[in-house]
């Protein structure tokens, strides 16, 4: 089992009380799976992603990645896990505006200590695989939203992580660019990458092999009836 969540709770302080954003979430994801998670805004989707990506620590419950718990891990260890095991794709791409596409893509390898020459060669290759050959030196501001998101995917995948976490990857894109992104996800999944994707759009969720639903911090395999309206 690649990902295993057991009774994960996450509380945030809200005024004097604690707000339970994730409520006893159980989730198992096997290698090679492609899971979409849907839910209304404020239901805890991003929070779940942050826990899955070791950007945030659960309040209680166990999270095993590849059978390993990182509850006690140091800041540097977590940085290493994020760097090597997980690829992140965000709704707003989060590219560094002053860096070329190539340098943006190569960034995770810099943190992994890969020599510059190899870094850049692999970045070019990764850009090619998302159809951006020839845009190596382009600044993000000169690229369309769809292209930016493809650069972000190249960056997420350059260290060849097993797990790709995508938080509304098409949320800021038109349908054509969105479906291009989904094509890339399909390819990645076909090559063996495990994908967990959050989305609002049923059409996008349908591209995944499996869909789950979250509401008020509770994750279920079935959609609640009132949401179908």
Partner 1 sequence: MKENIRLSFQGIWSHKMRSFLTMLGIIIGIASIITIVSTIRGTNEQIKQNLIGAGNNAVVVQVYQNDYAMEFQWTQIPEGIKPIDEKMRNHLANIEGAADASLFTSRNYLDGVYYKKTAFNGELYGIDSHYLDIYGYELSYGRGFTDADYERMTKCVLLDQRAASTIFSGANPIGEVLEIRGEPFTVIGVVAMNSSFQPTIESMQDYWMYAETTSGKIFMTNAAWPTVYKYDEPYSVAIQAKTTDDMAKVSQKAGELLTANLIPEELRMSSQISYKGRNLMEDAQQLQQITNSTSQQLIWIASISLLVGGIGVMNIMLVSVTERTREIGLKKAIGARRSRILGQFLTEASVLTTIGGLLGVLAGIIMARLISQFMGIPTAVSVPSIILATAFSMVIGLVFGLLPAVKASKLNPIEALRRE
Show contacts with Mg ion in window 27-56 (CB under 5 A). Answer: 46
- Token duo for residue 33: 């799976």
Q: Which does 190 bind (CB under 5 to 8 A by kind): Mg ion, partner 1, ligand ADP, none?
A: none
Closest approach of partner 1 to the CB of residue 55, in Å: 5
Site string for ligand ADP, 16-55 (x = CB under 6 A): -----x-----------------x-xxxxxxx--------
Give bridge partners of residue 88 from the DSSP assignment. 165
* Nearest-angstrom CA–CA distance, 163 and 149: 17
Interface with partner 1 by CB under 8 A: which residues? 50, 53, 55-56, 75-76, 79-80, 82-84, 88, 90, 92, 94, 96, 98, 107-108, 110-112, 155, 159
Is the alpha carbon torsion for 168, 218, 51, 10 positive or negative? positive
Contact 177, 146 (CB under 8 A): yes
CA 178 to mean position of chain CA atoms: 15
Q: Which does 42 bind (CB under 5 to 8 A by kind): Mg ion, ligand ADP, partner 1, none?
A: ligand ADP
Contact 66, 3 (CB under 8 A): no
Contact 101, 135 (CB under 8 A): yes
The residue among 88 and 185 lying less far from partner 1, judged by its C-beta, is 88
Q: Which does 44 bind (CB under 5 to 8 A by kind): Mg ion, partner 1, ligand ADP, none?
A: ligand ADP
Query: CA of 82: how far to CAs of 36, 133, 210, in Å?
Result: 21, 27, 24
The residue among 3 and 205 lying less far from partner 1, judged by its C-beta, is 3
Name the CA dihedral angle for 53, 57, 60, 62, rounded to a multiple of 10 degrees.
40
Closest approach of Mg ion to the CB of residue 35, in Å: 16
Q: Which does 83 bind (CB under 5 to 8 A by kind): ligand ADP, partner 1, Mg ion, none?
A: partner 1
Binding site for ligand ADP (CB under 6 A): 12, 21, 39, 41-47
């Amino acid at each position: 089992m690649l990902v295993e969540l057991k009774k994960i709770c996450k509380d945030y302080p809200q005024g004097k009380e604690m707000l339970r954003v994730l409520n006893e979430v159980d989730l198992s994801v096997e290698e090679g799976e492609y899971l979409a998670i849907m839910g209304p805004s404020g239901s805890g989707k991003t929070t779940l992603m942050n826990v899955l990506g070791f950007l945030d620590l659960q309040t209680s419950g166990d999270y095993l990645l590849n059978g390993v718990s990182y509850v006690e891990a140091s800041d540097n260890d977590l940085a290493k896990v994020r760097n090597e095991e997980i690829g992140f794709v965000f709704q707003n791409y989060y590219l560094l505006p002053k860096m070329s596409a190539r340098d943006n893509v190569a960034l995770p390898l810099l943190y992994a200590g890969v020599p510059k020459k190899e870094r850049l060669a692999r970045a070019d290759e990764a850009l090619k695989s998302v159809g951006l050959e020839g845009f190596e030196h382009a600044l993000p501001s000169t690229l369309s939203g769809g292209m930016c998101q493809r650069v972000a995917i190249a960056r997420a995948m350059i260290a060849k992580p097993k797990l790709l976490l995508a938080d509304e990857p098409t949320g800021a894109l038109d349908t054509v660019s969105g479906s291009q992104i989904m094509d890339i996800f399909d390819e990645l999944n076909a090559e063996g990458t495990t994908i967990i994707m959050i989305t609002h759009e049923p059409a996008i969720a349908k591209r995944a092999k499996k869909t789950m639903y979250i509401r008020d911090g509770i994750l279920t395999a079935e959609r609640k009836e009132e949401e179908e309206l």
